[in-house]
């Protein structure tokens, strides 16, 4: 049975999942790239770039786990790109070049319709205009029993959290402070939603925390 997961999602010590003033030139916001330092040097991340080098160990283990048994992804439009409003054309195809790292169907939440398209490696971007639950239904069908990963951003994760739909979250807490940006758990009661910490491991670049919902609270 498919699970809906948040995996390898980086936040700051003060709880921000992205910095302020995101833009095409600065997609993670001011200071946001520092949240992901734990992942950049791992073998998993480097292989996504076509390199055979990279570190192993705990950080790489979590990075690799984030791609295991995935059949589909869901992301918000802001994660897909910086274009706002109606699509002016179809030239923007994401931040990731001709071969994005997903290699499965990806469902992008948006208010503006756009035809799906396929990229190298089997990634197919679909654009969903009828809300998070519709995107989850389509992703579940596409995943064929494998898990579904929410890539982000913060607002998208919050929608699924508040709806009680996320089964598990792996957060990488980076040893940095951002001070402003998009705070992940703003006005969200994780205890009330039934989450508990099932795993935590510290490395020099991150504290990895896994939160899972109690079975009695699962939808």
Domain ranges within the chain, ordered by starting residue: 4-18+32-81+99-217
- pLDDT average, residue stretch 62-76: 97
Rounded distance between C-alpha atoms, residue 170 and residue 147, angstroms: 14
pLDDT for res 142: 98
pLDDT for res 10: 98
Rounded distance between C-alpha atoms, residue 61 and residue 42, angstroms: 9
Q: What is the tens place of the pLDDT at every residue in 75-100?
A: 999 999 988 899 999 999 999 999 99
Nearest by Cα to 216 from 190, 195, 200, 189? 195
Q: What is the tens place of the pLDDT at every residue in 101-131?
A: 999 999 999 999 999 999 999 999 999 999 9
β pairing state of 124-128 and 105-109: parallel
Burial of 49 (0-12, 13-18, 19+ CB in 10 A): exposed
Q: What is the tens place of the pLDDT at every residue in 140-154?
A: 999 999 999 999 899
Nearest by Cα to 183 from 34, 29, 16? 16
Q: Which residue has the higher pLDDT, 176 or 49?
A: 176
Pick the CATH number of 4-18+32-81+99-217 from 2.70.98.60, 3.40.50.620, 2.60.40.10, 3.40.430.10: 3.40.430.10
pLDDT for res 216: 60
CA torsion through residues 43, 104, 211, 27, sign: positive
């Amino acid at each position: 049975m498919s699970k809906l997961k948040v995996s390898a999602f980086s936040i700051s010590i003060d709880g921000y999942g992205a910095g302020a003033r995101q833009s095409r030139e600065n997609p993670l916001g001011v200071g946001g790239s520092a949240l992901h330092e734990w992942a950049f040097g791992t073998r998993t991340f480097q292989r996504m770039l076509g390199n055979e080098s990279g570190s192993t160990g705990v950080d790489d283990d979590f990075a690799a786990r984030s791609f295991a048994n995935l059949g589909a992804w869901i992301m918000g439009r802001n994660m897909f790109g910086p274009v706002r409003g109606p699509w002016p054309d179809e030239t923007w195809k994401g931040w990731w070049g001709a071969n994005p790292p997903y290699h499965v169907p990806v469902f992008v939440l948006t208010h503006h319709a756009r035809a799906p398209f396929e990229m190298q490696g089997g990634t197919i971007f679909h654009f969903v205009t009828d809300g998070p639950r519709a995107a989850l239904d389509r992703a579940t069908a596409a995943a064929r029993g494998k898990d579904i990963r929410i890539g982000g951003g913060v607002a998208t994760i919050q929608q699924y959290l508040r709806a009680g739909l996320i089964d598990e979250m792996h957060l990488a807490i980076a040893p940095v402070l951002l001070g402003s940006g998009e705070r992940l758990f703003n006005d969200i009661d994780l205890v009330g939603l039934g989450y508990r910490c099932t795993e935590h491991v510290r490395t020099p670049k991150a504290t990895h925390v896994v939160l899972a919902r109690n079975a009695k609270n699962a939808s």
